[in-house]
A = this chain, B = another copy of it.
Amino acid sequence: MQRVLVVDVGGTKLATGVVDHAGQLISEHRTPTPPDGDAEAVWSALVGGIERALDGAGRPAVEAIGVGCGGPMQWPEGRVTPLTMTGFRDFPLRDRLQERYGAEVRLHNDAICVAIAEHWQGAGQEHANMLGMVVSTGVGGGLILGGALHDGATGNGGHIGHVVVEPDGPQCRCGGRGCLEAVARGPAVAAWAVEHGWNDGEPTAAAVTASARTGNKIAVAALTRAGRAVGLALASTVALLDLELVCIGGGLAQAGELLFGPLAEAYAEHAGVHYARAPRAIPAALGQQAGLIGAAALVLRGDRYWHA
């Protein structure tokens, strides 16, 4: 039986799996990304994870490989330079996988894979025009428009993290200013809280969220600021693209109402044009498997999601 091998390469973990033709994960493995590892160290860890996933699926023949990876990247060539990893710098991930496993490789941005997964199997099914976004260490996304993935000119379509939400706001690591990512990514939320006197735990978004749940006012304010920034960016995005739905995943989305409440308030203030008025942001449905499922869709539903 031939199977699809799927890979999700991130700064924290390397997820690997094997998927059947219905898009169900039949094996899955996770291993930490070697911190500060060089390219070959990361590659070795990745191959180790792939072998474990293949073992778990009974060593099927690999028919094709779907990959999600942190950006930026050369697309569709699959040379990757993830912001969140120091090891891969212009690393030919597509070609290395193709050489080793002798199968076609389709590789896309990891946030795009999450968006694809939500459209294919998650909260966005039946919606022809939707944004899937991830609010985590970075803020990214992918767009399904007219029922198919929008790649953009260089494979970066859907990157909502660099929509401007505060014209005079903080510098963004992209070189711009006031980007959504500069305000709402996890480390920015934690840094803002610390700057405003918060000292209720480790300076991480997860700790700020936990603190906010206990009623800590600074922590609540930090999440409110991030939620409002997301809501404002979504008002712009829904008005521009006339979307039916936005699915939001990633670690910060776990804050629930602490994030989604202020998000909805800012959205209501700014989304005035008639077709955008009704709120339409919901939590993503697929959780941490979304990246692998989206990678599978690049192969199994190429008609909708792969136009390279």
List the interface of chain A (C-beta within 8 A of B): 72, 128-129, 143, 145-146, 148, 150-167, 172, 174-179, 232, 235-237, 239-244, 269-277, 307
Contacts and interface: CB of A to CB of B under 8 A. Distances in A.
A271 B159 CA distance: 12
Nearest to A229: B167
A18 B172 CA distance: 51
Copies of this chain per assembly = 2
Contacts of A177: 269-270, 272
Contacts of A148: 146
A11 B158 CA distance: 34
Contacts of A275: 72, 152-154, 156
A129 B154 CA distance: 10
B241 A174 contact: no
A145 to B, nearest CB: 6
Given A129-B157, A145-B152, A164-B165, 14 more contacts: A129-B153, A145-B157, A146-B307, A153-B242, A153-B275, A157-B242, A159-B273, A162-B271, A163-B236, A166-B167, A174-B272, A174-B274, A176-B271, A176-B272
B273 A162 contact: yes
A134 B80 CA distance: 37
